[in-house]
């Protein structure tokens, strides 16, 4: 029953998001932009670009706005407000200290029960973020290693990585929707004597092109994700020393080996781009190889 309720809520949420974008798009195209002398109603290309921007950036920002409640629903979490155990005190005090250093509001601190050692940061802004730590991470790392991991996640918050990634994702979404629609229209209208468009052909070509362009866009987003991991590692190195972060990465690598060997392959969930552990190698990896991150940390410490 709980799973059906979750599916129902997901469907309702997506419908509400879709309706919100439809209403916002109509208001933007027909009222707001014309008030500033920008009329995008005249041609198909400008009209499609406006809608592509509404759906591209709108969807990305709604996802960002919903990132904290979504994360809390995905895991069995408990917020740490009054830390009761030594590990909870370490996590809470470390996040508070790092937030004070960065001059930002302290993120919410959450712990969740999962044997997989991991942590992630999410939230709509630097001053409205959350840090979540798995029980597997807290139990399997030394205090110094755990602090380094928390500093890495605080690096994402302090660097504004969530907003930057959302802007990039919105831009990529806009290109995907716009280019797919324009090319599909050309293909669907080709060969027509009266200029009428084959709507079925348009729909098929548009869907195929959206999938193809989305794959290319994912390469750009993943490239950005790998770059921000190096920056977050450097942030942690500046906070607690490169050796602490190297030790944390080495521990994560060692802990991941038995899991990968027993599973036969590595998998990633919907929040994988926010996690400290790595993903698959190649163009679609959200994290660089741990070996490359360790080498970058050693180079950072020598500067």
Per-residue pLDDT tens digits for 33-51: 678 776 656 556 667 777 7
For position 153, what pLDDT does the model report? 96
* Angle between helix 290-302 and helix 199-240 axes, rounded to 10 deg: 40
Confirm whether pTM is higher than 0.85: no
Alpha-carbon distance values, 253 to 132, 216, 270 (Å): 20, 29, 21
Catalytic residues: 153
pLDDT over 70 percentage in the chain = 77
- Rounded Cα distance between 250 and 60, Å, is 34
Query: Which of 3-17, 55-69, 146-160, 217-231 has the least mean pLDDT?
Result: 3-17
**In angstroms, rounded to a whole number, what is the distance separating the alpha carbons of residues 48 and 177?**
8
């Amino acid at each position: 029953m709980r799973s059906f309720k979750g599916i129902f809520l997901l469907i309702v949420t997506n419908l509400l998001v879709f309706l919100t974008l439809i209403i916002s798009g109509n208001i933007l195209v027909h009222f707001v932009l014309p008030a500033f002398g920008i009329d995008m109603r005249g041609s198909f290309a400008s009209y499609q670009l406006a809608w592509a921007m509404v759906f591209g950036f709108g969807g990305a920002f709604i996802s960002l706005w919903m990132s904290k409640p979504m994360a809390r629903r995905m895991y069995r979490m408990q917020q740490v407000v009054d830390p009761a155990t030594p590990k909870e005190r370490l996590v809470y005090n470390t996040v508070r200290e790092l937030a004070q250093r960065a001059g930002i509001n302290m993120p919410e601190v959450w712990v969740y029960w999962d044997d997989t050692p991991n942590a992630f940061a999410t939230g709509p802004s630097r001053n409205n973020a959350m840090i979540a730590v798995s029980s597997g991470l807290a139990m399997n790392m030394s205090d110094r290693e755990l602090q380094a991991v928390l500093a890495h996640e605080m690096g994402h918050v302090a660097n504004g990585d969530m907003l930057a990634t959302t802007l990039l994702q919105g831009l990529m979404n806009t290109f995907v929707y716009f280019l797919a629609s324009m090319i599909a229209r050309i293909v669907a209208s080709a060969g027509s004597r009266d200029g009428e468009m084959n709507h079925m052909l348009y729909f098929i070509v548009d869907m195929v092109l959206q999938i193809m362009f989305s794959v290319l866009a994912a390469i750009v987003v993943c490239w950005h994700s790998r770059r921000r991991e190096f920056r977050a590692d450097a942030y942690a190195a500046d906070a607690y020393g490169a050796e602490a972060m190297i030790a944390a990465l080495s521990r994560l690598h060692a802990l991941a080996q038995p899991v990968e060997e027993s599973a036969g392959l590595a998998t990633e969930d919907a929040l994988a781009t926010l996690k400290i552990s790595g993903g698959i190698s190649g163009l679609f990896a959200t994290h660089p190889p741990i070996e490359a991150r360790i080498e970058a940390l050693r180079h950072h410490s020598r500067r």
